[in-house]
A and B are shown apart, each in its own frame.
Chain A
Amino acid sequence: GESVGLHLPTLSVQEGDNSIINCAYSNSASDYFIWYKQESGKGPQFIIDIRSNMDKRQGQRVTVLLNKTVKHLSLQIAATQPGDSAVYFCAEKIYYNAGNMLTFGGGTRLMVKP
């Protein structure tokens, strides 16, 4: 079936380095993607989103890249900090007539070493 998935379950980076978290999706009809951050014991928190008519979108220290040709999404975090340690999820939005639902990938745990 079609799904959203992640390549790496755990990513360990040194504080100050850049982090790249990858996500593959298989639903070619998906036109909206979101990255969420989930810290331990908390709910997912919106980080950044991107629509399929864009290839790149930048936020504060974060950049999302979308490659529709290979159905690949990535989240880049610049100058990774200890506070960035969390599980990161990509999600695609699937639209119904009356609304939408988010389909989440399996998550990648980012560990930042001091």
Chain B
Amino acid sequence: DTAVSQTPKYLVTQMGNDKSIKCEQNLGHDTMYWYKQDSKKFLKIMFSYNNKELIINETVPNRFSPKSPDKAHLNLHINSLELGDSAVYFCASSQGSYNEQFFGPGTRLTVL
């Protein structure tokens, strides 16, 4: 019955690897987001998708490629992982772009 879910919750990997984080929402929302939270708790938006279409891309390296197979899913694929990619990644969703955003539990990515 989780509204916004992410998998995996923890991800530890070596530099240079490629990894994916999955996000699903069962709220019927049409807009989904990815945020990055660094070690100082600073939250910054990365991407926003509305009805599977990319709306916002906040100067994220093209090693990050979001994919939205349908309105309920927004996955994040990261190529050639770097140490600086270590962070907690949050998925969120909202109904329309002007309403409250609901956040998932986060995925803690550690790049060694």
Which size bracket describes the interface of A in this complex?
A: 20 to 34
**A-B CB pair tally, cutoff 8 Å:** 57
How far does the alpha carbon of A51 sit from the alpha carbon of B98 in the complex, in Å?
A: 12
CB-CB under 8 A for A102 and B42, given A42-B106, A43-B4, A96-B56? no
How far does the alpha carbon of A40 sit from the alpha carbon of B77 in the complex, in Å?
A: 25
Q: When the two chains form the complex, which single residue of A45, A98, A104 contacts B44, counting CB atoms closer than 8 Å?
A: A104
List residues 56-110 of chain A with CB under 8 A from any CB of chain B: 87, 89, 91, 95-96, 98-104, 106-107
Per DSSP, are chain B's interface residues mostly helix, strand or loop, or mixed? strand
> How many residues on the B side are at the interface (Cβ–Cβ under 8 A)?
25
A99→B45 contact, CB < 8 A: no
B106→A99 contact, CB < 8 A: no
Which chain A residues lie closer than 8 Å to B45 at the CB level? 101-103
Interface residues of B (CB under 8 A from A): 4, 31, 33, 40-45, 48, 50, 55-56, 58, 90, 92, 97-98, 100-106
A sample of 5 inter-chain contacts (CB < 8 A) reads A43-B90, A46-B100, A99-B48, A99-B98, A100-B97
Interface residues of A (CB under 8 A from B): 34, 38, 41-46, 49, 87, 89, 91, 95-96, 98-104, 106-107
